[in-house]
Amino acid sequence: MDEMLTTRQVAKYLNVNEKMIYALIADKGLPASKVTGKWLFPLELVRQWVENGTQNFPEQGKLPPYHGLVLISGVEDLLLDTLINTFNLKHSEHIALYGLAGSLGGLNALRKNLCHIACFRSTDEHSDMSASFMDKESAQAPAVVNLCHREQGLIIQKNNPLGLLSVKDLSQKGVTIVNHRLGTGGRQLLDRELKRFGMGRGTVHGYENCVSRHMDAGLAVLNGSAHAAPGPRSVANLLGLDFISLGWERFDLFVNKDNFFDQGVQLFLAMLKGKVIQRTVEKLGGYELSMTGKMVYPDTANDDEQ
């Protein structure tokens, strides 16, 4: 388990006043978890948060010359899993390996040249971090290609026996949830909605009961150990569960520019325009592909107009 810092310790670590810590949690997405009424801060996630907000980051070493291995890190997704599995079956001289690290962890791995592709969910709480990472003045800024838009919300039991309509209903007596670990999209989604309704984390039974993957959360709802869990519609559909939509998010692939034209990376990106991704979306639901495969950054369309 990551080393946990108290509010006083994290304030000392960041060299700021303790009162500033609460503003950083609310306004800048400082990773934090409230346990028994007190804030705790996982040191490793705080370090990632600081690194991803750093300007003029020192240049790192380069990945070794491409030799058939495509390294992918960041946010998990069923559609991404299908693409990786299909890539490995289709291209026998290449292999794609995936490491679950969350949006911040994926960007951090890309910045350190530990992977070729980072999977990143674009949300308001991540906008400052992604903007600093894509500093247009930096020649090392990664290329960004859209994978999809996906629908996020609450995965709930089939036929909604408890009559849940929103996150507000999770505070009802007898309702238990399963959550995602700190720093993940599912956890941030739930925290955003709790804040919107003015609810504390302690009002939701099971808030500290965390799993690593969306499918684990969906299976907990399916087997009855939880009544709800934050996650994407695709998981609910696959498991035959019900779903409460909380909105859509953009899911992008940040690609190391030095390795953008490596054969394996290009073969993987080519799959974004193939039939496999279309068939998978038709089967799972919860995805929208109008931007899929398009270059988000650099914006070549705007460059042509200038």
Enter the CATH code of domain 69-146+250-305.
3.40.190.10
Band of the pLDDT at 288, cuts 50, 70, 90?
A: very high
Same fold, 4-52 and 69-146+250-305: no
Find out whether 229 and 154 touch, Cβ atoms under 8 Å. yes
Q: What is the pLDDT averaged over residues 104-115?
A: 88
- The CA-to-CA distance between both ends of the chain, in Å, stands at 50
| 169-203 exposure pattern, b = at least 16 Cβ within 10 A, e = fewer | bbeeeebbbbbbbbbbbbbbbbbbbbeeeebebee
Counting Cα atoms < 13 Å in the Cβ hemisphere of 56 gives 0
| 10-55 confidence digits (pLDDT tens) | 899 888 998 898 888 877 778 888 766 788 888 878 887 776 666 5
| 123-148 confidence digits (pLDDT tens) | 644 444 455 555 544 456 899 999 99
pLDDT greater at residue 300 or residue 9: 9
**Measured between alpha carbons, how far is 274 from 266 in angstroms, rounded to an integer?**
13
- Superfamily covering domain 152-248: Periplasmic binding protein-like II (3.40.190.10)
Closest CA to 195 of 17, 9, 26: 26
Enter the CATH code of domain 4-52.
1.10.1660.10
The full set of domain ranges for the chain reads: 4-52, 69-146+250-305, 152-248
